[in-house]
Amino acid sequence: QVQLVESGGGLVQAGGSLRLSCAASGRTFSSGRMGWFRQAPGKEREFVAAIGGSAGITDYADSVKGRFTISRDIARNTAYLQMNSLKPEDTAVYYCAARLRPLGPYDYWGQGTQVTISS
């Protein structure tokens, strides 16, 4: 049984930082892709960042480029999202997702972790 467990969310002031973690169990995703998505109240879920493949290629939404960094620890089967220079508009529930293949839909999702940025 595959599980993705997020942690690291919380409440910080604008300009602050948080690091989210996504621990995967049940399968390894080193050949696939792990990503972060977020959903703010009243809005659709949106892509934030992803990492995958043997080279650890990363991809970011324009809104977070230069502020967020996605990384992974293959040995720990864990992905991270370092979030710096946080803005109130970053407030959302952040979800970890993973897929076994390089392309295609994400197969597995975490339960989400709340990130709240105060102005």
DSSP 37-83: EEE-TTS--EEEEEEETTTTEEEE-TTTTTTEEEEEETTTTEEEEEE
Residue 28 clears pLDDT 90, i.e. is over it: no
Average pLDDT over residues 6-21: 98
pLDDT band per the 50, 70, 90 thresholds, residue 21:
very high
Q: Is the pLDDT of residue 44 over 90?
A: yes
What pLDDT is attached to residue 31?
82
What tokens does 19 get? Answer: 């690091």
Give the pLDDT band (50/70/90) at residue 30: confident
Residue 102 has pLDDT above 90, yes or no: no
Secondary structure element (H or E) that encloses residue 96, with its range: strand 92-99
pLDDT higher for 83 or 28?
A: 83
Instruction: Calculate the average pLDDT of the chain.
Output: 95
Integer Cα distance of 35 and 60 in angstroms: 10
Whether residue 62 is predicted with pLDDT greater than 90 in this model: the reply is: yes
The percentage of residues in the chain with a pLDDT greater than 70, rounded to a whole number, is 100
CA distance 51 to 55: 9
Q: Which of 19, 20, 28, 25 is nearest to 1 (CA)?
A: 25
